[in-house]
Amino acid sequence: MINIIEIQDREGGIYHPVTDAKAVKLQNGDNLQQKAESLDTQVAGKVDKVAGKGLSSNDYTTADKNKLSGAASLDSPVFTGTPQAPTPDMSDSSAQIATTAFVKAQNYAASSHTHTAAEVGAVDQKNVLSNADIEKIINS
């Protein structure tokens, strides 16, 4: 059961102490239609509205549409200019965007070491397929 707190103000009206919203208290014999019309009149003076427009109306101006037409899709944005992003903590291994500062701090700089022919040729040959073996696999 919900305990609804109501407080009576000086004018005899009831309101909710948290939201300060006025409450309509109905008594036996009250005219519900008259109360509803009274509330409609009070609300009509508090809300700015344009006749015929609702929350879902598609009434964007050409200027508004042009501003949005250049926006990147949220699913796969394309960045232009020099996009900025916060630099993640050095221990971060999430899928967050890695900034240049983050990558440089990880010491992933390109190696200046020149590989010798012996180092390059030292590939383990036992798992390397010949062209003939590859053709057999493709044609089978």
Residue-wise pLDDT for 87-113, tens only, equals: 999 888 898 888 888 888 887 656 677
Q: How far is CA 20 from the centre of its chain?
A: 32
pLDDT at 45: 67
Q: How far apart are CA 90 and CA 93, in angstroms?
A: 8
Q: Are strands 14-15 and 22-23 parallel, antiparallel or unpaired?
A: antiparallel
The secondary structure of residue 47, as a DSSP letter, is S
**Residue 135 within a domain:** no
Domain of residue 32 covers 7-44
15 within 8 A of 6, measured Cβ to Cβ? yes
pLDDT of residue 134: 80
The answer to whether residue 1 is domain-embedded is: no
- Residue 15 within a domain: yes
The CA distance from 22 to 38, in Å, is 13
Pair 12, 22: CB distance under 8 Å = no
CA-atom Rg of the chain in angstroms? 35
Domain annotation covers residue 55: no
Residue 111 domain flag: no
Count how many domains the chain has: 1
- 60 in a domain, yes or no? no
pLDDT of res. 138: 83
Cβ contact 41:52 at 8 Å: no
Mention every residue, 6+ apart, whose C-beta is less than 8 A from residue 35.
24, 26
For residue 11, being part of any structural domain is answered with yes
pTM of the model: 0.28
pLDDT at 52: 65
- Asked if the structure places residue 35 within a domain, the reply is yes
CA 47-53-57 angle, to 5 degrees, is: 125
